[in-house]
Chain A
């Protein structure tokens, strides 16, 4: 099961890299979202996919699941959500102000002040 998850994470990283290397700002933003999904999946897998009872006091069981990776992912998801929201707004705003969403046209340092 871990092997499969690793492959899925790898495919997500691959698609994210492809998207982020393109010129359109929207594709780049989508790429960052996919990247964060890959990261979260990897984090979940890294803790080990164990089957077991919830780790609560009073639960009598031979094995418990590890709650820590889930807590970490929850935090990371919230942060990624916030950053993506900001990034989308920025993409929209810069499209309106600069009149392009092509990264090729956003290069250089001319007329900067």
Chain B
């Protein structure tokens, strides 16, 4: 019994740290130490949790000892444990980058505390097994993201946060509505129990209402996860805050939406005759195309990477929508890869913009002469992003395409395949124009703490290389995660203990 409590620790440690950090706001040095150490401890704890789930199967915790369908249950299956681990690693890297990259003014105004609260929300959303509790963790995450996007109060931040908050308030309203509809149909909030009830209902009557609820959930999570018609807010909002915040947002927030789509779809809406599945697949393909158009169109380094988030979301969702074991394994592989590499790329691009004092590619050039370390790291990250073997994007994409072809979704699989090329073009545009070419002198480049800022992205890129090269070692973990999505009875039985 004592060991089962373990799965709440990746939520609890950042929460306690955040509270401590609020009281330390005068001393920047103390804040850095506390938040760095705590993030490191969270990484260790979540790695132990992954190991625990690997050896002993799905871990559950009934809060306050209320039995499963009645109280709030926290569930750690392999998927959520892996995502918690990745979140902790990304957060750790972003915190290290922030030591030099965020500026003392922001650090004194509770930057680290807000970041820790954000980790609470993200880890909680990955871990919870209760649909309303998922909403609450979403709100924890969103509230901290409001704080992070606003912190600093520059004009662009104020302007973009109004839109960001408005979009998220509306989507939270829809979330509560969807939960209300679902509750009126199935009369329960525990996700495993909902899945059980829905399969009972589908056996008796026509499940039209379930499809409608599925679509509302898709809109809610699609707004967070930036799928095709609902990504309109993302390029503007993510552009506003400084690089470490952008890295956290780009790597984690959209992925929480994607995770929620995967979770609810595999548990609830898989048995409705394929309606929700078709919608997700079409939207996923359109998402890839829209993302590519954006990524190719801009000459702004941050915008290019931001649109690459949208491409990745499409690729992951396409793999999920085929509901084919290969493609699903590939999607999870790609999801984790994308969290790591997007964080690395945002930090690198942030560094690039700090050195050159501009976001515009046309005013950059020749960084490889004075900053070879940065340039080669960026090159490796770019290759990993577009999925060049043996780097980490490759395995996931191969599995997704393979699964897509074997389930005979030829168009979608071909588009996923082609998207890699366009991603490569968009990212090589940064490399050719920013890194190669005539070296230029920039006004403020001497004052940039270049070496310290390079540490975090280098850690992430090395990790991503290990993740790709060591795919054989990682594969059993990923396939265990995919197994509990395909065969949902494993998940349901673990929660309800029948």
Q: Determine which of B143, B169, B359 lies in contact with A113 in the assembled complex, contact meaning CB atoms within 8 Å.
A: B359
List chain B residues, Cβ under 8 A from A42: 177, 180
Cross-chain pair count, CB within 8 angstroms: 91
For the complex, what is the distance from the CA of A24 to the CA of B162, rounded to whole Å? 12
A90 touches B180 (CB 8 A): no
**Distance from A84 Cβ to chain B, minimum over Cβ atoms (Å):** 9
Which residues in window 103-150 of B have CB below 8 A to A?
132, 135-136, 139, 143, 146, 150
**Distance from A109 Cβ to chain B, minimum over Cβ atoms (Å):** 7
B236 touches A109 (CB 8 A): yes
For the complex, what is the distance from the CA of A20 to the CA of B173, rounded to whole Å? 13
For the complex, what is the distance from the CA of A75 to the CA of B130, rounded to whole Å? 14
What 1/0 mask marks residues of chain A from 53 to 67 whose CB sits below 8 Å from any chain B CB?
Answer: 000000000000000
For the complex, what is the distance from the CA of A90 to the CA of B162, rounded to whole Å? 7
What 1/0 mask marks residues of chain A from 85 to 101 whose CB sits below 8 Å from any chain B CB?
Answer: 01100110110011000
List chain A residues, Cβ under 8 A from B139: 79, 83
Which residues in window 151-172 of B have CB below 8 A to A?
153, 155-156, 158-159, 161-163, 165-166, 169-170, 172
B136 touches A32 (CB 8 A): no
For the complex, what is the distance from the CA of A72 to the CA of B172, rounded to whole Å? 13
With A28-B166, A36-B173, A90-B165 known as contacts, the answer to whether A69 contacts B183 (CB < 8 A) is: yes
Q: Determine which of A28, A76, A98, A109 lies in contact with B176 in the assembled complex, contact meaning CB atoms within 8 Å.
A: A76
From DSSP, what is the main secondary structure of chain A's interface residues?
helix
Q: Give the number of residues in B that approach A within 8 Å (Cβ atoms).
A: 34
List chain B residues, Cβ under 8 A from A97: 153, 155, 158
**Distance from A43 Cβ to chain B, minimum over Cβ atoms (Å):** 4
**Distance from B73 Cβ to chain A, minimum over Cβ atoms (Å):** 15
What 1/0 mask marks residues of chain A from 20 to 55 whose CB sits below 8 Å from any chain B CB?
Answer: 100001001000100110111011001110000000
The answer, yes or no, to whether A68 is at the interface (CB within 8 Å) is yes
The answer, yes or no, to whether A106 is at the interface (CB within 8 Å) is yes
Most buried by B among A48, A69, A91, A113: A113
CB-CB nearest in chain B for A86: B146
With A83-B165, A109-B236 known as contacts, the answer to whether A94 contacts B177 (CB < 8 A) is: no
**Distance from B113 Cβ to chain A, minimum over Cβ atoms (Å):** 15
For the complex, what is the distance from the CA of A83 to the CA of B165, rounded to whole Å? 9
List chain A residues, Cβ under 8 A from B240: 112
A35 touches B162 (CB 8 A): no
A90 touches B161 (CB 8 A): yes
B158 touches A98 (CB 8 A): yes
**Distance from A44 Cβ to chain B, minimum over Cβ atoms (Å):** 9
Which residues in window 367-409 of B have CB below 8 A to A?
none
List chain B residues, Cβ under 8 A from A82: 143
**Distance from B40 Cβ to chain A, minimum over Cβ atoms (Å):** 30
The answer, yes or no, to whether B450 is at the interface (CB within 8 Å) is no
For the complex, what is the distance from the CA of A31 to the CA of B159, rounded to whole Å? 18
A48 touches B132 (CB 8 A): no
For the complex, what is the distance from the CA of A6 to the CA of B173, rounded to whole Å? 16
The answer, yes or no, to whether B233 is at the interface (CB within 8 Å) is no
B162 touches A94 (CB 8 A): yes
The answer, yes or no, to whether B239 is at the interface (CB within 8 Å) is yes
For the complex, what is the distance from the CA of A106 to the CA of B164, rounded to whole Å? 13
B165 touches A35 (CB 8 A): no
The answer, yes or no, to whether B299 is at the interface (CB within 8 Å) is no
What 1/0 mask marks residues of chain B from 82 to 111 whose CB sits below 8 Å from any chain A CB?
Answer: 000000000000000000000000000000
The answer, yes or no, to whether B189 is at the interface (CB within 8 Å) is yes
B158 touches A68 (CB 8 A): no
The answer, yes or no, to whether B275 is at the interface (CB within 8 Å) is no
**Distance from B151 Cβ to chain A, minimum over Cβ atoms (Å):** 12
The answer, yes or no, to whether B22 is at the interface (CB within 8 Å) is no
List chain B residues, Cβ under 8 A from A43: 176-177, 179-180
A98 touches B155 (CB 8 A): yes
For the complex, what is the distance from the CA of A1 to the CA of B104, rounded to whole Å? 57
With A90-B150, A90-B161 known as contacts, the answer to whether A20 contacts B177 (CB < 8 A) is: no
Known pairs A25-B162, A32-B173, A109-B236; list 15 more (Cβ under 8 Å).
Answer: A39-B173, A40-B176, A42-B180, A47-B180, A68-B183, A69-B183, A76-B176, A79-B172, A90-B158, A90-B165, A91-B162, A94-B158, A103-B162, A106-B163, A112-B240
Can you list 10 residue pairs at the A/B interface with Cβ under 8 Å? A35-B173, A42-B180, A43-B177, A79-B139, A82-B143, A86-B165, A90-B161, A94-B159, A109-B236, A112-B156
A interface list, Cβ under 8 A from B: 20, 25, 28, 32, 35-36, 38-40, 42-43, 46-48, 68-69, 72, 75-76, 79, 82-83, 86-87, 90-91, 93-94, 97-98, 103, 106, 109, 112-113
